[in-house]
Chains A and B, each alone.
Chain A
Amino acid sequence: MASLSRRHLIRSTVALAAASALPVPAWARGASLSRAQNGSGELSGEDIELSIGDHHFMTGTRSGHAVAVNGSVPGPLIRLREGQNVRLNVTNNLAEDSSIHWHGLLVPFQFDGVPGVSFPGIRPGERFTYEFPIRQSGTYWWHSHSGLQEQAGHYGPIVVESADPDPRYDRDYVVLLSEFTPIHPHEIMRKLKVGEHYFNYQMQTATEGEMSGAMRRMWGQMRMNPRDISDVTGSTYTFLINGHGPADDLQFAFRAGERVRLRIINGSAMTFFNVRIPGVPMTVIAADGQDVAEVEVDEFQIGVAETYDVIVSPPDGSHAIVAEAMDRSGMGVASLTSHKGHRASPPPLREPVTLTMADMGMMDHGGMAGMEGMDHSMRDTSKLPADVKVGPGLDMVSPMPMDRMDFPGLGLDTVKHRVLRYTDLKAKRMNPHREVDREMRIHLTGNMERYMWSFDGKKFTAVTDDPIRFGFDERVRVTLVNDTMMAHPIHLHGHFFELVNGADHMHQPLKHTVIVQPGGTATFDLTANEPGDWAFHCHLLYHMHAGMMQVVTVRPFSAGDGA
């Protein structure tokens, strides 16, 4: 370990020296050379060198192993220009295979970075070059797609500058949300598998929770836990903003009167965040890197792997940027301040969230009269289509799954101020007009007690040779039906799909990741116009690791297409 530290010390020093030659943004502050930096510099140009290595990471009172890129967690901000070509040279200094997936970038499939789908992976000691043109602008991110390395720190932001300058802001900051845990990710997975709600210290107890006895018995009868909001919580996670925990005092500077663009990226493994800056309204200008019509909100929930760009015009003073974990077991905090050194005090954590009937896929509104005498069966498998496998891996079938695009996210349906909903998003630019060629429904299935997760009741291991097949340029309307009580952020590689969210069909917002709310449905229209093989999965890292993944193929494909 000693020699390892020394080697990394040298490398970190070099990295820092290289970084200091560039204008270092505020998000990159806070370095200690004996360990991985919390936050890092940025890289740009046509040739970019990235190096993956083992490091030690500290934040607050927690410390442990990290997989860092160029010696920092998160790894460097990669800043590109729309229309340029880029060669990303990635050296793997780990003892195991690694990879980088460019989340949200439109790339030839063989450079998408998913070992076993797009390429063989990067072996220990190997240097792999990704090369592709930059066809878009916006806020994206990159992360490992090998094992559970992403949890350990192997991720970073991407900003692609538009060819057209945007005059709407004076300052531009990346706000990358993530988590740090001292527990090895494989051990987290094992603890989830053996059950016992290991990380949940917000369960209903005899002394806690307002649910009536009758309702508690109903949940118990179904063997479901109404406080099952997040699988992994603040009991082991320190929530990070740009690699800084709440104790690390990250500050973003502004001058009174300035308009500040915040590029908020949820680069966490398992945590949905509620993002707000108390007292400062936020104007959402982009979702998943794609421009949307401006909409002003006071708070929004960001699912794992999503990004939102907002513009704020904070009044003089210090304001807390609060990224509260959806289950309210902790928060990431930074200060947006016009007084250097001043620290904004964040509001306290709000009360834990309790699931409701709507999250079971039951209607939940005033007209309950019709439901008297209704069978409360939460696993009526006759409601499932034939292609859903019914087995131990499926513990629930939503009785009446409804479109929940208008749901602001667990715990945000009862707050008083303005909260972003998917139904608020409208693409800024017009999408091509397309008729739907085919419709499909994919069920999100799972078993909380066994910690099994899958699509259509089949883990990835059962469908390795049974991909979801699309014809090139086929327009497919995909409805995701959530037969579980967890919110799943579903990500399709290589494409942007359009959310069927009530916006007129030429202005359906483009996204790469969509949250499917518990017990509900979400629908998107996809034009499958990127040939090759692509990963399609739940972006909750341990759900994917449990099998909630499938390969999507777009054909015809010829080797010449991608290159």
Chain B
Amino acid sequence: MIRAMLLAGAVLLPAPLAAQDHSGHGSRSEPAPEMDHCAMGHLPPEQCGKQEESEPAPAMDDGMAGMDHGSHGAMNDKSAPEDAVPARALEGPRHAADAIWGREAMEPARRELARGNGGMTTGMVLVERLEARIPTDGGETGYLWDAQAWYGGDLNRFVLKTEGEGEFGGAVEDAEIQALYSRAIGPFFDLQAGVRFDPEPDSRTHLVLGVAGLAPYMFHVDGALFLSDRGDLTARVEAEYDQKITQRLILQPRIEAEFAAQDIPEREIGAGVTKVEPGLRLRYEIAREFAPYIGVEYEAKLGETADIARAGGEDPDGFKVLLGVRAWF
């Protein structure tokens, strides 16, 4: 389901590859890079000397011919390929410094060196949305929070997410907290798996399997499947895009959709697409870490879920004006 949504989203994205304008490529003033056969190692050093005195190497404007960089090993008949390490290079000691300062003195320094050159762990807390939600058709003003925190290295991270809403003066209506293990599965995406606990509206636990990351065209997406302790399967997809108006004023279209594989009567949910929330937030980054925003969001229950709402005398959709803050530290 999530995959289908992502694919559908990708199809709807603007400017497919085929439509890209290539005419701009030729208009830049930078001169064509010259193919220097000496610099590229195409010629043995002897010939490079001669070339120096003669004409510069011809500009490389004949398309792709000769662009095979895979054959560098063959350029110089006399030189060996990269993996032909001479035997003397493999002689000991393993660490030269051990021979001078002693292994005992060097070991801690080596560990520290690795820690300080690629072994860093760090983390952040991001309050993505903390907002008041004012219905345009009257009704009680609500609030919403949506935050996450992570800690870890480049590939493996521990992630906490929490989200919830309610009405000012009333009880919390929905709340959830997720504890996830996140593993990078590609340059731009993490696979996230773990558990979700909902204290409200009724205490319930889910298994979570999701994907989060940066999709082409710079869309931040987060999709997850939830399997509840009662066997109900639901899903949620969020996507957002940051359009900079100026360096600090940022317009963020955001959409969130929820799905259910079956009816969940005690939560007034029907099978199918249950809810969709497209919204627009305009934030101003006073600092990168602190950005108040205003926004508007349309919130609609759909399909059977909407029918259930209507049957209960509730309006299944409506607009909300948003006032909030995005912050991280």
Chain A residue nearest to B126 in the complex (CB): A194
Tell whether, in the assembled complex, residue A367 and residue B63 are in contact, meaning their CB atoms are under 8 Å apart: yes
CB contacts (< 8 Å) of B83 on chain A: these are 387
A220–B220 CA distance with the chains assembled, in angstroms: 12
A402–B33 CA distance with the chains assembled, in angstroms: 8
Interface string of A214-240 (1 = CB under 8 A from B): 110110111100000000000000000
Residues A421-443 near B (CB distance < 8 A): 423, 433-441
CB contacts (< 8 Å) of A119 on chain B: these are 97, 100-101, 109
Residues A517-563 near B (CB distance < 8 A): 520-521, 523, 531-533, 537, 544-547, 549, 553-559, 562-563
Given A217-B15, A471-B89, answer yes or no on A205-B112 (Cβ-Cβ < 8 Å). Answer: no
Chain B contact residue count (CB 8 A cutoff) = 105
Residues B186-202 near A (CB distance < 8 A): 186-188
Question: Closest Cβ of chain A: how far from B126's Cβ, in Å?
Answer: 8
Tell whether, in the assembled complex, residue B69 and residue A403 are in contact, meaning their CB atoms are under 8 Å apart: no
Q: Does A164 contact B (CB under 8 A)?
A: no
Tell whether, in the assembled complex, residue B117 and residue A549 are in contact, meaning their CB atoms are under 8 Å apart: yes
Question: Closest Cβ of chain A: how far from B20's Cβ, in Å?
Answer: 5
Taking a contact as CB atoms closer than 8 A, the residue among A407, A433, A459, A502 that contacts B33 in the complex is A407
CB contacts (< 8 Å) of B117 on chain A: these are 459-461, 537, 544-547, 549
Tell whether, in the assembled complex, residue A438 and residue B32 are in contact, meaning their CB atoms are under 8 Å apart: no
Tell whether, in the assembled complex, residue B188 and residue A546 are in contact, meaning their CB atoms are under 8 Å apart: no
A554–B246 CA distance with the chains assembled, in angstroms: 52
Residues A192-222 near B (CB distance < 8 A): 193-194, 196, 198, 201-208, 212-215, 217-218, 220-222
Q: Does A23 contact B (CB under 8 A)?
A: no
Question: Closest Cβ of chain B: how far from A435's Cβ, in Å?
Answer: 6
Tell whether, in the assembled complex, residue B30 and residue A358 are in contact, meaning their CB atoms are under 8 Å apart: yes
Q: Does B230 contact A (CB under 8 A)?
A: no
Of A31-39, A78-86, A449-457, the stretch lying at the interface with chain B is A449-457
CB contacts (< 8 Å) of A366 on chain B: these are 26, 32, 61
Question: Closest Cβ of chain A: how far from B114's Cβ, in Å?
Answer: 5
CB contacts (< 8 Å) of A403 on chain B: these are 33, 35-36, 39-40
A434–B34 CA distance with the chains assembled, in angstroms: 26
A454–B217 CA distance with the chains assembled, in angstroms: 25
Residues A79-96 near B (CB distance < 8 A): none
Question: Closest Cβ of chain B: how far from A517's Cβ, in Å?
Answer: 10
Taking a contact as CB atoms closer than 8 A, the residue among B28, B96, B214, B215 that contacts A557 in the complex is B96
Given A439-B75, A441-B72, A447-B187, answer yes or no on A120-B109 (Cβ-Cβ < 8 Å). Answer: yes
Taking a contact as CB atoms closer than 8 A, the residue among A356, A405, A439, A471 that contacts B85 in the complex is A471
Question: Closest Cβ of chain A: how far from B158's Cβ, in Å?
Answer: 15
Q: Determine which residue in B41, B97, B155 has the highest number of CB atoms from chain A within 10 A of its CB, and name it.
A: B97
Interface size grouping (class) on chain A: 35 or more
Q: Determine which residue in A434, A544, A547 has the highest number of CB atoms from chain B within 10 A of its CB, and name it.
A: A547
Q: Does B265 contact A (CB under 8 A)?
A: no
Chain A residue nearest to B88 in the complex (CB): A471
Tell whether, in the assembled complex, residue A147 and residue B116 are in contact, meaning their CB atoms are under 8 Å apart: yes
Tell whether, in the assembled complex, residue A116 and residue B119 are in contact, meaning their CB atoms are under 8 Å apart: no
Taking a contact as CB atoms closer than 8 A, the residue among A189, A207, A358 that contacts B120 in the complex is A189
Given A523-B40, A532-B96, answer yes or no on A204-B184 (Cβ-Cβ < 8 Å). Answer: no
Tell whether, in the assembled complex, residue B41 and residue A500 are in contact, meaning their CB atoms are under 8 Å apart: yes
CB contacts (< 8 Å) of A559 on chain B: these are 99-100
Taking a contact as CB atoms closer than 8 A, the residue among B28, B32, B39 that contacts A523 in the complex is B39
Given A110-B100, A208-B246, A371-B25, answer yes or no on A435-B78 (Cβ-Cβ < 8 Å). Answer: yes
Q: Determine which residue in A120, A404, A505 has the highest number of CB atoms from chain B within 10 A of its CB, and name it.
A: A120
Tell whether, in the assembled complex, residue B245 and residue A207 are in contact, meaning their CB atoms are under 8 Å apart: yes
Given A202-B247, A222-B216, answer yes or no on A120-B60 (Cβ-Cβ < 8 Å). Answer: no
Tell whether, in the assembled complex, residue B82 and residue A120 are in contact, meaning their CB atoms are under 8 Å apart: no
CB contacts (< 8 Å) of A213 on chain B: these are 15
A546–B124 CA distance with the chains assembled, in angstroms: 17
CB contacts (< 8 Å) of B99 on chain A: these are 557-559
Question: Closest Cβ of chain B: how far from A270's Cβ, in Å?
Answer: 16
Taking a contact as CB atoms closer than 8 A, the residue among A116, A207, A365, A459 that contacts B113 in the complex is A116
Tell whether, in the assembled complex, residue B245 and residue A452 are in contact, meaning their CB atoms are under 8 Å apart: no
What 9 A-B pairs are tightest by C-beta distance, nearest first? A547-B118, A116-B113, A365-B32, A459-B118, A370-B63, A392-B184, A505-B45, A471-B86, A214-B21
Q: Could you list which residues of chain B lie within 8 angstroms of chain A, going by C-beta atoms?
A: 14-15, 17, 19-22, 24-26, 28-36, 38-41, 44-46, 48-49, 51-53, 56-57, 59-64, 67, 69-70, 72-73, 75-76, 78-97, 99-101, 105-106, 108-114, 116-120, 122, 124, 154-155, 184-188, 214-218, 243-248, 288, 328
Q: Other CB < 8 Å A-B pairs besides A147-B116, A504-B49, 11 of them?
A: A109-B96, A120-B109, A214-B24, A366-B32, A404-B33, A435-B78, A437-B79, A459-B154, A471-B88, A546-B117, A557-B93
Q: Could you list which residues of chain A lie within 8 angstroms of chain B, going by C-beta atoms?
A: 97, 109-110, 114-121, 146-147, 189-191, 193-194, 196, 198, 201-208, 212-215, 217-218, 220-223, 356-358, 363-372, 376, 379, 383, 385, 387, 391-395, 400-407, 413-414, 423, 433-441, 447, 449-450, 452, 454, 459-462, 464-465, 469-472, 474, 477, 479, 481, 500-506, 520-521, 523, 531-533, 537, 544-547, 549, 553-559, 562-563
A/B interface sample: 7 pairs, CB < 8 A: A115-B113, A217-B14, A222-B216, A406-B36, A472-B88, A503-B52, A546-B120
